[in-house]
Amino acid sequence: MEPMTDMQPPPAPSSAASPVPAVELLVKDGCHLCADALAVVGEVCGRLGVDWQAVDIAGRPYLAERHAEEIPVLMVDGVQRDFWRIDPVRLERMLTADRP
């Protein structure tokens, strides 16, 4: 996945899904739900051996405007899949679903 610039929306998801999901958690400072989500995503992805990254929306106007009230936001393969409270069971199902 190419890094996003500060002023541009993220690229559209690829039509060819990777066998390994791309997982990003959008977060911001001062967000109490973000700390919980970081722990959940870290635990589930760590157990499954899936790489993931936390993306701070500060300094990224497009992301900050789009997701200001939904933080944290779980993105899988460039698609918003969850926000606020990340459910570990649902996340595991997303990451272990049959992939092409």
Q: Are 87 and 39 in contact (CB under 8 A)?
A: no
**pTM of the complete model:** 0.77
Has residue 15 been placed in a domain? no
Has residue 51 been placed in a domain? yes
pLDDT of residue 97: 84
pLDDT of residue 21: 78
Number of domains composing the chain: 1
Average confidence (pLDDT) per 10 residues, the chain, 100 residues? 48 51 92 96 96 92 89 94 96 82
Has residue 11 been placed in a domain? no
In this structure, what DSSP letter does residue 2 have?
P
CATH of the domain at 51: 3.40.30.10
Angle at which helices 32-48 and 88-96 cross, to 10°: 40
Q: What is the pLDDT of residues 47-67, one digit of tens each?
A: 999 999 999 999 899 998 998
pLDDT of residue 13: 45
Has residue 9 been placed in a domain? no
**Could you tell me the residue range of the domain that residue 53 belongs to?**
23-59+69-96
